[in-house]
């Protein structure tokens, strides 16, 4: 099981830009890439519409999810997990986030915009109602 998630500065910036554009609502997306040993290497961020349009939770647009998975397959990527924003709360899984984390192989990234000038992104492994931090490495492009 991969314990590390690696992405580039521009991918991190892409997540922040989408999350800020969606404020005050939560934003969300999927992560595509490759698994190299214990590391999930993100090669693409797929922004997805939050069809709930609320700042308290998210539901990914099924149409956007399907389009993202088709693009992943075409690019030779595998789904690595997803990300969503917490506009007003810390970067940690809420009880609802844990309850809705159905795939124990996925990484769950949460971006906190509590301080919009200093966004905080963390990666988590969630199994049942237990979450643990994964190592998140953000590298230069």
SS3 2: coil
Cβ distance 14 to 30 under 8 Å? no
For 79-91, the pLDDT digits (tens) are 999 999 999 999 9
How far apart (Å, rounded) are the C-alpha atoms in residues 70 and 77? 10
The answer to whether residues 42 and 31 touch, using CB atoms and an 8 Å cutoff, is: yes
Query: Does position 3 have pLDDT exceeding 90, yes or no?
Result: no
pTM for this structure?
0.95
Over residues 28-62, the pLDDT tens digits come to 999 999 999 999 999 999 999 999 999 989 999 99
pLDDT at 1: 57
Q: What CATH code would you report for 4-139? A: 3.40.140.10
31's tokens: 């992560």
pLDDT of 85 reads: 97
Residue ranges per domain, the chain? 4-139
Percent of the chain with pLDDT over 70: 99
């Amino acid at each position: 099981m991969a314990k590390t998630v690696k992405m580039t500065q521009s991918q991190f910036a892409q997540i922040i830009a989408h999350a800020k554009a969606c404020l005050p609502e939560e934003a969300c997306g999927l992560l595509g890439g490759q698994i190299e040993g214990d590391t999930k290497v993100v090669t693409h961020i797929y922004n997805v519409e939050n069809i709930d349009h609320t700042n308290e939770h998210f539901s990914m647009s099924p149409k956007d999810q399907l389009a993202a998975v088709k693009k992943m397959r075409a690019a030779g990527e595998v789904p690595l997990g997803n990300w969503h924003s917490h506009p007003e709360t810390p970067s940690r899984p809420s009880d609802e986030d844990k309850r809705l984390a159905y795939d124990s192989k996925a990484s769950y990234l949460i971006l906190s915009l509590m301080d919009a000038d200093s966004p905080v992104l963390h990666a988590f492994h969630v199994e049942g109602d237990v979450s643990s931090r994964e190592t998140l490495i953000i590298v230069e492009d």
